[in-house]
A and B are shown apart, each in its own frame.
Chain A
Amino acid sequence: MGAVTRVPGYLGVGLVWLYRVTFGALFPTTCKYHPSCSEYAIQALKTHGLVRGSFMAGWRLLRCNPWSRGGYDPVRPKTVEPR
């Protein structure tokens, strides 16, 4: 995978960072999952790109509700050959 194809994913990562330094810091909360939702989003975007990564991050956010159990939930690695 070329560096260019990874650009959209990194744009997403930038947005997550923007969230982290603004609202994430203003409304501090601890996530019930490990890695935390924002960390998960960053990893998912880096590993799976913008589209799939965003869906994964969104799904994780929905799971991170008061009724869920939380726990260790890492981003699944890509099934294709590693970079």
Chain B
Amino acid sequence: MTHFILYAIPIISSLEHIARNILDWIHTRLGITWAWSIVVLTVIVRILLVPLTVKQIHSMQNLQRFAPQMKEIQKKYKNDKQKQNEELMKFYRENNINPAASCLPMLAQLPVFISLYYALKQFSKHPPPGPQDFSWLHFVPNITWHTNTFWGGYVLLVVYVGSQMASTLFMSATADRTQRILFMVMPLVFVFIIARFPAGLVLYWVTTNLWTVGQGLITRRLMPRPAAPEKRTSRTPPKDDGDGGENGAEPKEPEPKPKPAAKAGPPRRVRRKKQAGRR
């Protein structure tokens, strides 16, 4: 049903055309198979999105430093989701936090996804003239086939689930445990829907997920966590309770705080390590 709705929109058909032309260009210019053209296209899209994702990873690292306070807020308002969210947003604003996740970068990938979906569908109906190689790495005989119609597709699906979970681990910014678990479980549910998609689309997905994981690993290693410009929150609290008190987030661990207060530098590092270890 949705196919008809989407096809009725002229944008879809032009997107499909663009995707097909780009794939065609990569295929003929670079002289690679259609499957590898999809991988290259995915990499190009992700390279274009690098500035957005780097920014996101930075703000996520920043966000993690405030995890204890945020958990405290969540605990305090656990029965009132609306109030909890409002308080969290207030907390972000007061502490100058830029929450990592935002909808625009995710939406930027949507047109690529939709166009690829329809381009692959068209490929299976009207393949380009002449003998074509639609296989990939010997275990995917044809990327236009539905993923659940050949054994290699199942391998691809397993890789998809694994990569999706790993990328969720890196990119989901939410501190809410239930939400994190939900995001982790989702690929297991969606794998049944995705199984009916063309294998080339799953290939796109796997590539983009693996890119996310790689990017996460590299940024974590290469870029040190932001040099704590908002240190005031961890430095000042031992003296005056005002900082955490504003948000009702302070009373979590009253005893350990006064001890490290005398040496503000080292204990903070220890705390950060602990946080990193927990993740």
Q: Does B120 contact A (CB under 8 A)?
A: no
Contacts of B55 in A (CB 8 A): 66-67
Digit string of A1-30 for contact with B (CB within 8 Å is 1, else 0)?
000000000000000001000110111111
B247 at the interface (CB under 8 A from A): no
Question: How many residues of A are in contact with the other chain, CB < 8 A?
Answer: 27
* Contact assessment for B190 and A25 in the assembled complex, using a CB-CB cutoff below 8 Å: yes
Decide if B86 touches A64 in the complex (CB within 8 Å). Answer: no
Tell me, in angstroms, the Cα distance from A62 to B105 when the chains sit together.
Answer: 10
Q: Is the CB of B33 closer than 8 A to any CB of chain A?
A: no
Judge whether B172 is part of the interface by a CB distance below 8 angstroms: yes
In contact, A34 and B85 (Cβ under 8 angstroms)? yes
The smallest beta-carbon distance between B198 and chain A, in angstroms, is 15
Given A28-B172, A64-B103, A23:B89 Cβ within 8 A? no
Instruction: Please indicate the chain B residues that have their CB under 8 angstroms from the CB of A27 in the complex.
Output: 106, 109-110
Contact assessment for B101 and A31 in the assembled complex, using a CB-CB cutoff below 8 Å: yes
Q: Are B92 and A71 in contact (CB under 8 A)?
A: yes
Tell whether, in the assembled complex, residue B56 and residue A23 are in contact, meaning their CB atoms are under 8 Å apart. Answer: no
Q: Is A61 in contact with chain B by the CB < 8 A criterion?
A: yes
A33 to B105: give the CA distance in the assembly, Å. 15
Residues of B within 8 A of A (CB): 2, 52, 55-56, 59, 85-86, 88-90, 92-93, 98-107, 109-110, 113, 168, 171-174, 179, 182-183, 186, 190, 194
